[in-house]
Structure 1
Amino acid sequence: MRDSDRLLSGARPATVREKLAELSAAAPVDLMPDFYGDGPVRQLEERVAGLLGAEAAVFFPTGTMAQQVAIRYGAEVTGRTAVALHQLGHQEMHEHRAYADLTGLRAVHPTGAPRNPTAAELTTLAEPVGTVVFELPMRDAGFVLPTWAELSDACTAARGLGARVHFDGARIWESAPYLGRDLPEIAGLADSTYVSFYKSLGGLSGAALTGSAAFVAYARTWRHRYGGQLFQQWPAALTALTGLERELPRIPDYVRHAKVIAGAFAELPGAQVFPRPPHTNQFRVWLPYPAARLNEAVLAMARDEKVWFAGGWQDTAVPGQAMAEVSVLAPALEWTARDVIEIGLRLSDRVQM
């Protein structure tokens, strides 16, 4: 991928020297590093709070830490030890159930359908919950989003139950076009929102929580208790600020072009695409070949043709069928539908050799 001239999915990884040059370019000559969260970290927090229309924001080194703090707060202010999570949500799939092991909370699953819960499903929960979590978009369901009306109604239903609403908004930046609302209006539906700085914006690492001043003050205290009060985090903060400046304005273009790319994928023999059209700039594609052969062919094409198609193929429950996630970023804007079809057919030929 690093040496490819053309990339369809993802972005070319930067070297350490390139990242250092980016940091140097982003930092004013007289900018001092942060010391326990001031300086550029505080600038980033103020920028994010403004973007999401929140009273305040607090930087975290990881999203996993941030989300545990958010749902802990919901349990404490409501006195309820249950939290409404989806079985495919990030807390269940990618955080080793930290909400249970570190915080002692229990999960209630409002629905088994591969999407966020509806208002009707929330009103029939068997027990009170302190927080209802919505993941925007739900990555492990295929980067799917509810409609604006569905999301609004579900948030209203959650509050009617006396619960807080928390948005797992790691990819909220690319959710706005589908929802048809700006970021402050979307985040305004929730009591707290988590955002990521590296998934779409190209930052080194880091996350933030936004919400009321009281919530953010609580989050700062628990960030320290969880070990997230680092001495200096200015490299992550500077790359996040750069991403907000350079990448955030381009995300609507990525979302629009993802529809072109996904439509072209669907023309390949035996291919399946979901969702179609994509809700964001990311979607899933299935091809009728084993994952090992597809990954070998992708690497061979990158070596021989300097073209990176889509990697990370995984076998599925259907024998001989593999799935990959496609992320449409800046390099993919140069690809036409015809490019995707022609190169996809060449990849299929390699798999069958």
Structure 2
Amino acid sequence: MTDPNADRLRRMAAQRSCDTVLSGRPPASVAEQLEALRAITADDLLPDFYGEGGAVEELERRVGELLGTEGVAFFPTGTMAQQVAMRYGVELTGRNGVGLHPLSHPMLHERDAPAVLGGLRPVRSADAPRNPTAEEIVALDEPIGTLLLELPLRDAGFVLPTWDELVAVVEAARQRGARVHLDGARLWESTVHLGRSPAEVAALADSTYVSFYKSLGGHSGAALAGSAELVRYARAWRHRYGGNLFQQSPAALAALAGLTHELPRLAGYVAHAKVVAAALATLPGARVHPAPPHTHQFRLWLSHPADALNTANLALAEEEKAWFVGGWRDTEVPGIALAEVTVAGPALELDADQVVDLADRFLRRLPRR
């Protein structure tokens, strides 16, 4: 029996050793993380006190400027932030129904938290692997107090609606008397496809959650943005949920660094993801979705078992110092596996021909069939 933690550490060590990385970025050591924080921290900066003052206050101010909202509350996790946003919708509207896509994060990755913790009743907002349409919201056969829209819908392939489709579905929710909450864990990079600024996207909704550790490369943490009334409510329920930590300066500083250094680069990653996806689509038996990608992340399928693909990628990293794509998992179709590709800074060094060359080196390590 393998040790999952030992396997994870081996993969991290292998990726850190690589000179070439197609998907993702090599993980930093703890010492490297601390050194980076020290480089951006003023000598006289004092820590926050239960989320008040210090870097946390500055982070909330910066996010408020970017999203154009009255208030922002920092949260240790996005799961907690969204629980509070959905609970607020219940209390405001008197309806415990929440429009949720079956592939949304609260439905797939939070152990039924909306129902177990908040007494919320999920209402299926759509069946197709994309965000719901205005017509689908109008046709819901039961009332909802909040419609949650995940931008992009990660478990459908990081897919986004068009701007007009997004505006229409928000208007449909309003006609149903529902609040609109944006699960914007990856909102920062969604603005390219939508053709609007973060503030313009957030202005459509009653509340917006953003993450600091996904696209921005922070340590952890999230923010819930909206009206001043919402933020007062959020701070009270953050305390009740156990999220009012004594000091959160390291997470806040890392988030500020991400807003300063990584946020301006995301549009370049999104553009290059189209180049990478087109190159990968030429591989034997390959399929990418969406084509072209809507953000800097997309799905890749290959006609091999996941174990073989993960073994080949690790061997390539350890022996040739090159990382192709990891995290393969088997699909419901035998012999076909799926992975998520993330185009970040390291991938910008690879043009289309170099992507294909790296893929060929990876594929040569697979068992012959």
Instruction: Pick the TM interval, shorter chain.
Output: over 0.9
Equivalent residue, structure 2, for 1:42:
57
In the alignment, residue 35 of structure 2 is paired with which amino acid?
A
Q: How many angstroms does 1:127 deviate by?
A: 1.2
1: distance between equivalents of 2:317 and 2:282? 22
Q: What amino acid does structure 1 have at the position aligned with 2:313?
A: V
1:120 corresponds to = 135
Mapping for residues 100-179 of structure 1, pairs under 5 Å: 100-179=115-194
Q: Does 1:193 align with 2:208?
A: yes
SS at match of 2:73: strand
1:20 aligns with 2:20: no
Give the counterpart of 1:260 among 261, 265, 275: 275
**Structure 1 residue 352, shift from structure 2 partner:** 2.7
How far is the alpha carbon of 1:128 from its aligned partner?
Answer: 1.1
Shift of 1:124: 1.0
Aligned length: 353
Tell me, which stretches of 5 or more residues in structure 1 are unaligned? none
1:80 equivalent among 95, 112, 116: 95
Q: Which residue of 1 aligns with 2:336?
A: 321
After superposition, residues 58-97 of structure 1 pair within 5 angstroms as: 58-97=73-112
Pairwise CA RMSD: 0.6
* TM-score computed with the length of structure 1 as normaliser: 0.99
The normalised TM-score by structure 2 is 0.95
Runs in 1 of length 4+ with deviation above 2 angstroms?
none
Task: Report how far residue 73 of structure 1 moved.
Answer: 0.2
SS of aligned partner of 1:312: coil
- Could you list the per-position Cα deviations for residues 45-64 of structure 1 after superposition, in whole angstroms to 9, with x for gaps in the alignment? 01001100111100000000
Aligned to 1:332: 347
Q: CA deviation at 1:23?
A: 1.0
Gap runs ≥5 in structure 2: 1-14
Q: How is 1:268-287 mapped onto 2 (pairs within 5 angstroms)?
A: 268-287=283-302
Give deviations 1:263-297, integer Å, cap 9, x for gaps: 00001111000000000000000011111011100
The sequence identity of aligned pairs, in percent, is 61
Counterpart residue number, 2:7: none
The 1-side partners of 2:333 and 2:308 are apart by: 15
Q: Could you tell me which amino acid in structure 2 is paired with residue 294 of structure 1?
A: L
Please name the residue that 1:294 is paired with.
Answer: 309
Listed one character per residue, the Cα deviations across residues 171-203 of structure 1 (whole Å, up to 9, x for unaligned) are 000000000011111110000000000001010
Match status 1:31 vs 2:45: yes
Letter of the 1:98 counterpart = A
Match of 1:245 in 2: 260
Q: Which amino acid aligns with 1:281?
A: H
